[in-house]
Structure 1
Amino acid sequence: MTDRFVVVPAAYVYLLREGPAGVEVLLQLRQNTGYMDGRWAAAAAGHVERGETAYDAARREAREELGIDDLDLVFELTMQRTRHADPIDERVDFFFSARGWAGDPRIVEPAKCAELRWWRLDDLPVRVVPHEARALASLGTGAAYLTYGFENAPAGRGQE
């Protein structure tokens, strides 16, 4: 019998709107999370819970982190990523966008989010979580699957 590693799934929600100079995305400035604090990231994201679909997780995270509901979710892409040469920290991330929702996005978890801000999709801040920068750059390109952190990823797969 072979020991199998566990893949950790997560769902990300990028709220999009048409701004005066083009499409804008709502990002949060992370703080006190222990992961990528001081960097900009999806306004809502988190682990998919046992028995939950990625769509359900995206809706739950948007409600818990932004206080919004009734998202018009659009599946954008999946990213398989790791930070190690050994497959001990494998992750599968499901990225969604939404252009419609009920409520006004607000900081619901102020201990973890220092700020929410709309950024032009073509003019993002420098300090974006690296794998999310890759996902944001791929929105709307038709890329359905990306990898991040694998040394031997096939060419054209969205390697970092």
Structure 2
Amino acid sequence: MSNRITMPVAVHLILTRGDEVLLLRRFQTGYEDGHYSVPAGHLDGDEEVVTAAIREAREECSIVVEPADVRVIGVMHRKSTDERIDFFVRVARWTGDVRNGEPHKCDELAWYPIHRLPENVIPYVRRALEHPQAGIWFESVGFT
């Protein structure tokens, strides 16, 4: 008999503007503080991936995103301190001005050229940002 596992599931928003991507620098979260990521969050119970992406866009970036403007572009099965599933979605259209909606968790929200990211982007996020150019849709990370 196999062990069934439950694990955290998160959605990561890849907001693009031309050849730039929106990054945030984590602050006072207890996880990867001082490092860059994309806006992201865990799915709430009984919540679809697209719905979670829309919610996170509103909470973290103060923008409104329509379901038709969210496209899943990748999935990562990842093991670090625990096992998780991460969905990566591209959002290229939204309503409103991007601004930091969670200054208690993020001390910078800025656009960066996708080919010149800051050195301290969280490694699995950097990998996910490189995947579309490499034609990769799924990856397992941290399993030996």
Confirm or deny a common fold (TM above 0.5): yes
The CA distance in 2 between the partners of 1:50 and 1:78, in whole Å, is 19
The reply on whether 1:31 has 2:24 as its aligned counterpart is: no
Identity of aligned residues (%): 41
> AA paired with 1:136?
L
Partner of residue 4, structure 2: 4
Partner of residue 154, structure 1: none
> AA paired with 2:32?
M
> AA paired with 1:52?
E
The aligned length equals 142
> In structure 2, which of residues 73, 77, 81 is the aligned counterpart of residue 80 of structure 1?
77
- 1:17-74 CA distances to partner (integer Å, 9 max, x unpaired)? 11xxxx10010010000100000000x2100111001111111000011111124112
- Between structures 1 and 2, the one with greater helix share: 2
For the Cα contact (< 8 Å) 2:57–2:65, is it kept in 1?
A: no
- 1:64-120 CA distances to partner (integer Å, 9 max, x unpaired)? 111111241121100000025xxxx11000001111100111001111010111110
The CA distance in 2 between the partners of 1:54 and 1:16, in whole Å, is 19
Give me the CA root mean square deviation: 1.4
Q: Kindly state the Cα deviation for residue 8 of structure 1 after the two structures are TM-superposed.
A: 1.1
Structure number with greater Rg is: 1
TM-score normalized by structure 2? 0.93
TM-score normalized by structure 1? 0.84
Q: Kindly state the Cα deviation for residue 142 of structure 1 after the two structures are TM-superposed.
A: 2.9
Partner of residue 103, structure 2: 110
Q: Which runs of 5+ in 2 are unaligned?
A: none
Q: Which runs of 5+ in 1 are unaligned?
A: 152-160
